[in-house]
Structure 1
Amino acid sequence: MSTQEKTQGKAINAKPIMGKQKVPAQLATVTDLNSEEVQAVSNAVNPLIADAFALYTKTKNFHWHLSGSHFRDYHKLFDQQAGTILASIDVMAERVRRIGGTTIRSISMISELQTIKDDNDDFVPPGEMVKRLMDDNTHIAQMIRAAIEAAEHSRDNATANALEEILDETERRKWFLFEVMQGKDNTV
């Protein structure tokens, strides 16, 4: 199964990714969505949260481990992009909780749900960093679009709207990375 098939299956698959979640009574948010709709939205959004954590970490990794003539510009760009990724995590997790779902609780849960590949290479040239981040942001954009469809199908327009804003930020990151890749001395 390809990464894209795996991603699309996770984002819109009727089979719960995290299992049928029983929400503790103390956390049972009142909603007009039925339990299947809540589970579908939770199953679509939680992998996005896991991938946002993975992409945040990768972006900060590249921010910390830059070298070369574009150091200052890339260092600032990666830091700014990491900040928008981090901000999206709380928005998504709170949407899941607002509709009565449960969300990420641990690093192991992130690892279980993430579809973004970790990057543990000792050294990555700056141009390759940009390419990897652009590829990962493209992947995230595809997942967000699938999650928007799942939210709309589950009558959860508020989550779909929040995801559309996150998609816009993702596309902005892709655009900036694309333009950086167009630089004539930025060879991969």
Structure 2
Amino acid sequence: MDIDIGIKAADREASANALTRLLADTYTLYLKTHGYHWNVEGPHFQQLHALFMEQYTEMWTASDDLAERIRALGFYAPGSYTQMAELASLQEEDSTPPDWKSMVQTLAKGHEQVAKTAREVLRIAEETGDDATSDVVAPRVTLHEKTAWMLRATAS
């Protein structure tokens, strides 16, 4: 069935492609945060264990929102680890979990990157008149910037 939501097919595709990259970055950061939640050790264990759980839970919900927006635009969302890894600008970690401070620093950098990716989505959504995508993504920028700041403060 044809999609007629007031956005040209090529513009919907541009938004969907940008959202796909944001979804991949969000999902990769979600996985990293969840792994850190399981493996954090040290004097700040309880605080970080709870903080990481709050963060990965939020990103899990955001991943669903992003994927649903991709689908509303008429495109398929990536659905495998392989696809996510190929599309993400963040790298997975294959080694032994780092110490708590390195975890916090790595996550801060990850949130900064996701904020950058989200900004690119906003730029494309604005150019294409895709207000609904902007509505989904704008709060992501704010959240990731705030989370990065809090993590940087924690690592100081």
Question: Scaled by the length of structure 2, what TM-score is found?
Answer: 0.94
| CA shift for structure 1 position 53 | 1.1
After superposing the two structures, state which structure 1 stretch, 153-162 or 166-175, moved more. 166-175
In structure 2, the partner of 1:140 is 114
Q: Aligned to 2:51, what secondary structure does the other structure show?
A: helix
- Partner AA of 2:122 in structure 1: I
Q: Aligned to 1:51, what secondary structure does the other structure show?
A: helix
Is the counterpart of residue 124 in structure 1 residue 98 in structure 2? yes
Q: Aligned to 2:75, what secondary structure does the other structure show?
A: coil
Is the counterpart of residue 40 in structure 1 residue 14 in structure 2? yes
Length, aligned pairs only: 156
Q: Once the two structures are superposed, what CA deviation does each residue of 1:94-134 show, in whole Å capped at 9, x if it has no partner? A: 11111222221322211221111101221301000000000
Alignment gaps of 5+ in structure 1: 1-24, 183-188
Q: Aligned to 2:41, what secondary structure does the other structure show?
A: coil
Is the counterpart of residue 76 in structure 1 residue 50 in structure 2? yes
Identity of aligned residues (%): 26
In structure 2, the partner of 1:63 is 37
Q: Aligned to 1:67, what secondary structure does the other structure show?
A: coil
- Partner AA of 2:38 in structure 1: W
In structure 2, the partner of 1:179 is 153
After superposing the two structures, state which structure 1 stretch, 84-93 or 103-112, moved more. 103-112
In structure 2, C-alpha distance between the alignment counterparts of 1:114 and 1:137, rounded to whole Å? 13
Is the counterpart of residue 100 in structure 1 residue 44 in structure 2? no
Question: Scaled by the length of structure 1, what TM-score is found?
Answer: 0.79
Q: Aligned to 2:6, what secondary structure does the other structure show?
A: coil
In structure 2, the partner of 1:160 is 134
In structure 2, the partner of 1:52 is 26
- Partner AA of 1:145 in structure 2: R
- Counterpart contact for 1:31–1:100, Cα < 8 Å: no
- Counterpart contact for 1:84–1:169, Cα < 8 Å: no
In structure 2, C-alpha distance between the alignment counterparts of 1:32 and 1:78, rounded to whole Å? 40
Alignment gaps of 5+ in structure 2: none
| CA shift for structure 1 position 161 | 1.8
**Which one has the largest radius of gyration?**
1
Q: Aligned to 1:68, what secondary structure does the other structure show?
A: coil
Q: Once the two structures are superposed, what CA deviation does each residue of 1:133-172 show, in whole Å capped at 9, x if it has no partner? A: 0011111111111110001111101111210011121122
